[in-house]
């Protein structure tokens, strides 16, 4: 795949009369924020434009971004001049509406994920960008668009969220420069952050308390392990989705290098793993047929919690005692506070 | 008080041979990061320089910033050419070492807090800055200093922490531009953030779980109230200091406008209040002789928890039912998700 210049993409979009925007399933703030900002600005230019979501549900804390910009009805634009995928580039990332994307006269992808072999009419893939939102801002620049505050705030939501509030490794100089630009368009970081982060379900906090009460420390506290069981969902009124983010809370404990959280759902067990400094949980997840990133990975185990827990526990002790030993031999720093 | 130009302050500091740096008590990351970055760079210029802390203890998660830059011994420099207060300007903010500050041949304050009547030989007070760290970077610029990575990371810790990871209202364009500059000096946002935020004591998480298990919702869930009792410290192994931050977790609950957390310590009760969108908790704290900011305030109640809890509960219901009503009449937005 050869990257197009952003100017070429801007030109095609400027000339289009109808633009359908796509993003990936399991939408996060970057997916929703980037796609909604695009459609809002395309409409201001007088174009017919919608975000066509793959998913029918949007997370509660992202709904403030939607306005009337989104739909799940592929017939909303019969024959779009351009189909534009943002924060996604392969149709496997939006399977329900993949055919509609393919039907576009011109297909474009603007993404910051590494991709394998996608090659649309135009592609702008930059894995060094912290968020697709940064690329959308660049696109606005080349198109001469001064975004409305609502669009700018959607991009701020995208960027702040995908960089973990500027805490992840993908935070770059460009990330901060993008946000400085967004300030020119009147963003209110506090209002956006309240909307994104300050709407936690009480059931979720209660579920987290249960996970904390069950946590156990292995290998001198370098591994923390806990679980979410059907019984705990029942006790707290939470649903399995509320388990999102709890494994990161466990990782935040002092001295912890690896957090392991097992979640029970429909008789299966889902493993969720996080690493703090130098440890690699992707390799561990692969032991159970899973995968992911070095610092965040997961797997599915076709066993009940009762069977899966001791299996994973034993494997974690075995795998990481060796891994930690090798890290120490290699003299790898494992953080200032560890 | 008249502000000096940063260039004047830079000139005085460039000419000084010995500089003692001061910051406020109850040190946060801005206090420690800003003061340590200054001393590190002053020493690189060949000057004799120390941070003279008011406090003898530094929070665990800030120790990585200290190096050998700090002391609590006022005799470390007998007669400093310059005493420089950063993130603080009034001697009441560092009472234990106030006399030493006053003994400086030249006294300078660089601060982003509103001050009343301080007037040293040189003052640079900018309440619009998100953190003192932003002002220190500006000072480095006028002094022609290219900070080492360690100093730049100390300033990143200062800025990211004092702006609540760029989520508070004090986050400005200048904040982001400062961080973009710090990227030029090689900061690793992820490593700094891990050191700052990923060393939570397990006892603290357990204490939080207890607070969550006791929380009650008032006024249709717009107030959440909970407590931390001696009994809970005992059960979890936590100390009162571990209660820090728990009230913010409570505020993050969906629909909550005001979080009230009462903490028991030595027979007294400390109230900690947080507001989300338009509510004002300073006014509420003042009912109990306390104070603070509109969104974060507190008070001390000379009663046991058993007596204080129903008092505060009743006052909160009375005060905020009226306040919410007035806000609604005034048509004030209380956030996208409320």
- ipTM of predicted complex: 0.89
* pLDDT at res. B338: 40
What value does the mean pLDDT take over residues B180-193? 96
Q: How close is the nearest chain A Cα to the Cα of B120, in Å?
A: 33
* pLDDT at res. A11: 98
Q: What is the mean pLDDT of chain B?
A: 94
Question: B206 contacts in A (CB within 8 Å)?
Answer: 212-213
Contact B276 A198 (CB under 8 A): yes
Model confidence at B145: pLDDT above 60: yes
* pLDDT at res. B79: 96
* pLDDT at res. B335: 56
Which tokens is B107 given? 């006294």
Residues of chain A with confidence (pLDDT) below 50: 334, 337-338
Mutate to test the interface with A, among B65, B182, B196, B202 (most CBs of A within 10 A): B202
Contact A335 B195 (CB under 8 A): yes
* pLDDT at res. A22: 98
Contact B165 A166 (CB under 8 A): yes
Q: How close is the nearest chain A Cα to the Cα of B139, in Å?
A: 20
* pLDDT at res. A45: 98
Model confidence at B101: pLDDT above 80: yes
Residues B36-72 pLDDT 10s: 999 999 999 999 999 999 998 998 899 999 999 999 9
Contact A276 B206 (CB under 8 A): no
d(CA B193, CA B166): 13
Mutate to test the interface with B, among A36, A198, A250 (most CBs of B within 10 A): A198
Question: B255 contacts in A (CB within 8 Å)?
Answer: 199
Question: A189 contacts in B (CB within 8 Å)?
Answer: 166-169, 171
Mutate to test the interface with B, among A205, A215, A252 (most CBs of B within 10 A): A205
Q: How close is the nearest chain A Cα to the Cα of B142, in Å?
A: 21
What value does the mean pLDDT take over residues B5-9? 98
Question: A194 contacts in B (CB within 8 Å)?
Answer: 276-277, 335-337
How many Cα neighbours within 13 Å face the side chain of B122? 21
Residues A276-318 pLDDT 10s: 988 999 999 999 999 988 888 999 999 999 999 999 999 999 9
d(CA A307, CA A284): 18
Which residue on chain A is closest to B185 by alpha carbon?
Answer: A173
Name the helix (H) or strand (E) containing A309. Answer: helix A305-329
Residue among B199, B205, B254 minimizing CB distance to A212: B205
Residue A53 · residue A71 · CB < 8 Å: yes
Per DSSP, the three-state class of B120 is: coil
* pLDDT at res. A334: 46
Q: How far is CA B24 from CA A283, A303, A327, B231, in A?
A: 46, 55, 39, 32
Which residue on chain B is closest to A278 by alpha carbon?
Answer: B191
Question: Which of B192, B210, B145 is closest to B29 using CA atoms?
Answer: B192
Residue among B166, B194, B336 minimizing CB distance to A166: B166
What value does the mean pLDDT take over residues B7-24? 98
| Phi, psi of B292, deg, nearest 5 | 140, -145
* pLDDT at res. B171: 95
Residues B155-178 pLDDT 10s: 999 999 999 999 988 999 999 999
Q: How far is CA B206 from CA A164, A223, B236, in A?
A: 24, 17, 6
């Amino acid at each position: 795949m050869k990257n197009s210049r952003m100017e070429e993409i801007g030109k095609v979009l400027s000339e289009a009369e109808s633009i359908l925007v796509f993003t990936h399933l399991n939408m996060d703030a970057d997916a929703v924020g980037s796609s909604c900002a695009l459609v809002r600005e395309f409409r201001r230019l007088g174009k017919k434009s919608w975000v066509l979501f793959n998913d029918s549900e949007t997370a509660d804390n992202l709904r403030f971004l939607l306005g009337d910009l989104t739909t799940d009805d592929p017939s909303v634009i019969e024959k779009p001049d351009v189909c534009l995928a943002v924060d996604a580039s392969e149709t496997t990332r939006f399977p329900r509406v993949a055919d509609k994307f393919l039907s576009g006269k011109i297909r474009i992808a603007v993404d910051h994920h590494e991709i394998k072999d996608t090659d649309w009419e135009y592609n702008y893939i930059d894995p060094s960008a912290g968020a697709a939102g940064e690329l959308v801002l660049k696109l606005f620049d080349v198109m001469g668009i001064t975004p409305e505050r609502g669009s700018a705030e959607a991009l701020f939501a995208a960027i702040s969220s995908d960089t973990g509030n500027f805490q992840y490794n993908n935070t770059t100089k460009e990330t901060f420069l993008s946000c400085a630009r967004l300030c020119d368009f009147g963003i209110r970081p506090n209002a956006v952050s309240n909307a994104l982060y300050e709407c936690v379900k009480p059931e979720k906090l209660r579920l987290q308390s249960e996970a904390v009460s069950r946590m156990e420390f292995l290998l001198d506290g370098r591994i923390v392990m806990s679980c979410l069981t059907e019984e705990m969902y029942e006790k707290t009124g939470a649903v399995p989705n509320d388990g999102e983010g709890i494994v990161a809370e466990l990782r935040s404990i002092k001295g912890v290098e690896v957090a392991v959280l097992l979640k029970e759902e429909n008789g299966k067990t889902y493993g969720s793993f996080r690493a703090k400094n130098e440890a690699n949980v992707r390799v561990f997840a692969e032991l159970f047929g899973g995968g992911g990133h070095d610092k965040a990975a997961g797997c599915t185990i076709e066993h009940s919690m009762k069977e899966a827990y001791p299996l994973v526990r034993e494997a974690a002790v075995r795998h990481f005692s060796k891994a930690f030993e090798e890290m120490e031999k290699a003299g790898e720093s494992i953080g200032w506070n560890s």
